[in-house]
Structure 1
């Protein structure tokens, strides 16, 4: 088991019992997420950018336009904060103040390095394709030289961070339990809808689902 070191900025000020530093548990949340928020400061102003980051090994990767705001900031060695949150349930209590949510949230800190070698950049970009739709990287056209040139890819090491999570039923005051109000958890689940082909898909061409099933 790999445990990330606890640092002042990964130490919880509240609910410390919900925090852990296990590398595998952190990676599980990163792998399930489809949206990551990246926080940084440029010219004295704070920015938070939503993007589709993905993990390869012990690094979290993200891509931007080569000359975009964020790429320029990262090349300057700026510290960033990456956060991922998964909502697992709505926790409904018998009192207003004890409502909550079940969640898993990862926060990472560090300085990202740019991936400049073409073969490595191609490899990690194709890993993003497979994260979005497993198995798809093997059947689509890979990036060409021009596409790689206009795309900046950065890697944030998964070295300083933490996972905070809540699970289970509402925590109620004893004198609230007799109130005639429903209490419990409503699970929140993300599901994929029916695939909708564009006008260029030939008749009969099937979309292969991640689990191997085929959908026309």
Structure 2
């Protein structure tokens, strides 16, 4: 019988910042919500020659694991056969904060940083499940509405799994934090919100003209 995971991730030295600790969040609900809101994470690791590397990768969260998509020939996929120490980050930018003084300009954001050991997925069932999850993370219901990958395509596509254990969220919200003596200065100050929306689907020129836009896609772009 499986036990219910704790509501919060454990706080560790790597997930404890030296500044702005009030912006930290360790609860699963916040961490998962930020991960589910974006599509690209940056995976950082140290290559065998000692050089730091950071790569953008598609991902999806399934429970307390991140699945990351890449080519079988990519460096992290090759190096992760026995486990690769990594740091994965996801950031959403929500607003530009313009202060009266240059030093207090900032950004409203939500971010997640996860530390751990990533492993290459070798189980065929988990491999397919992970790839479907990544597709559905981009567009919900899409994996059931496209041609499944062939054995050759699966052999050319690798997936890493990073279990979420040492992970934390950090966010800045709110307005300007100016010095009290600057409040009356004659400079515009405030927040410029940043929003992201999906545009009208553009059909591929080679698609038959009578092919309808799927209902799940219509619902997504109208929401």
TM-score normalised by L of structure 2? 0.91
- Aligned counterpart for 2:37 among listed residues 21, 32, 35: 32
Q: In structure 1, the residue corresponding to 2:133 is in which secondary structure?
A: helix
The match for 2:7 is: 2
* Contact 1:126 1:142 (8 Å CA) reproduced: no
Give, in whole Å, the separation in 2 of the partners of 1:51 and 1:155.
Answer: 12
- Aligned counterpart for 1:98 among listed residues 85, 98, 104: 104
User: Is residue 212 from structure 1 mapped to residue 187 from structure 2 by the alignment?
Assistant: no
Q: In structure 2, the residue corresponding to 1:24 is in which secondary structure?
A: helix
The match for 1:135 is: 141
In the TM superposition, what whole-angstrom CA distance separates every residue of 1:58-82 from its partner, at most 9, and x where no partner exists?
1000122223211112224221000
User: Is residue 146 from structure 1 mapped to residue 145 from structure 2 by the alignment?
Assistant: no
Which ranges of 4 or more aligned residues in structure 1 deviate by more than 4 Å?
A: none
TM-score normalised by L of structure 1? 0.94
* Contact 2:198 2:221 (8 Å CA) reproduced: no
- Aligned counterpart for 2:193 among listed residues 187, 197, 216: 187
Q: Number of residues paired by the alignment?
A: 215
The match for 1:79 is: 85
In the TM superposition, what whole-angstrom CA distance separates every residue of 1:92-134 from its partner, at most 9, and x where no partner exists?
1111111111000110000012221212211121111111111
Q: In structure 2, the residue corresponding to 1:170 is in which secondary structure?
A: coil
Give, in whole Å, the separation in 1 of the partners of 2:10 and 2:131.
Answer: 29
User: Is residue 15 from structure 1 mapped to residue 37 from structure 2 by the alignment?
Assistant: no
Give, in whole Å, the separation in 1 of the partners of 2:75 and 2:11.
Answer: 31
In the TM superposition, what whole-angstrom CA distance separates every residue of 1:16-74 from its partner, at most 9, and x where no partner exists?
11011111211111111111000001121110001111111110001222232111122
> Offset of 1:158 from its aligned partner?
0.8
Unaligned runs of 5+ in 2: 1-5
RMSD value over aligned CA atoms? 1.7
Unaligned runs of 5+ in 1: none
Matches within 5 A, 1:157-176: 157-176=163-182
